[in-house]
């Protein structure tokens, strides 16, 4: 059986992962309104990844004998001034998620749950990749500035991103 404090930490993170999915759905709609299908695709992949991350924790908690307790998902923002502002928000959000997973790791260390530590280690490594991916797009958007042609070129590049079901843990 998983420690009750660890169970609560996992339930909180499950909610955070599903909020991330919801936030990225909102951002996907924003880019659809801008008629930027490559950005829509990029965010579709993010949505799928966040769902997989949440379900990975969901399944892990059950496997460890814990109880999943779903809670309300907060309403995400839906308007941004520009693609750059939207990606700045994504970058900030991914940094927040990293800090949340680090807090879950702190709980695992506190209750000496080495299995949870091992499991969460995968998520920490994933966050390094997530932050890097977002920062690469953000830096490119900042470099592009107001160049619509360059924005469309980036849009075409983002259309090539595909989802690969992660093997979590």
Residue 169 has pLDDT above 90, yes or no: no
Radius of gyration of the CA atoms of the chain, in A: 17
Alpha carbon distance 40, 155 (integer Å): 9
Read off the pLDDT of residues 47-64 as tens digits, 9 standing for 90 and up: 999 999 999 999 999 999
Name the H helices within 34-113.
Answer: 37-63, 83-110
Looking at residue 85, its pLDDT comes to: 98
Read off the pLDDT of residues 125-146 as tens digits, 9 standing for 90 and up: 999 999 999 999 999 999 999 9
Give the max Cα distance, the chain: 56
Flag whether the pTM goes above 0.85. yes
How many CB atoms within 10 Å of residue 67? 11
Q: Where are the domains of the chain?
A: 4-158
pLDDT class of 40 with cuts at 50, 70, 90: very high
Superfamily the domain 4-158 falls into:
Ferritin, core subunit, four-helix bundle (1.20.1260.10)
The proportion of the chain whose per-residue pLDDT surpasses 90, expressed as a percent, equals 99
Looking at residue 13, its pLDDT comes to: 98
Q: Is 136 helix (H, G, I), strand (E, B) or coil?
A: helix
Read off the pLDDT of residues 62-107 as tens digits, 9 standing for 90 and up: 999 999 999 999 999 999 999 999 999 999 999 999 999 999 999 9
């Amino acid at each position: 059986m998983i420690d009750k404090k660890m169970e609560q930490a996992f339930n909180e993170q499950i909610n955070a992962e599903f909020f991330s999915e919801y936030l990225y759905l909102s951002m996907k709609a924003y880019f659809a309104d801008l008629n930027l299908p490559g950005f829509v695709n990029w965010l579709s992949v993010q949505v799928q990844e966040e769902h997989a991350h949440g379900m990975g924790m969901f399944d892990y908690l059950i496997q460890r004998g814990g109880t999943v307790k779903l809670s309300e998902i907060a309403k995400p923002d839906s308007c941004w001034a520009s693609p750059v502002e939207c990606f700045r928000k994504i970058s900030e959000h991914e940094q927040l998620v990293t800090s949340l997973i680090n807090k879950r790791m702190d709980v695992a260390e506190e209750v000496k749950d080495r299995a949870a530590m091992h499991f969460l280690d995968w998520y920490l490594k994933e966050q390094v990749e997530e932050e890097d991916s977002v920062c690469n797009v953000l830096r490119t958007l900042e470099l592009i500035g107001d160049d619509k042609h360059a924005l469309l070129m980036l849009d075409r590049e983002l259309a090539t991103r595909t989802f690969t079901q992660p093997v979590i843990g």
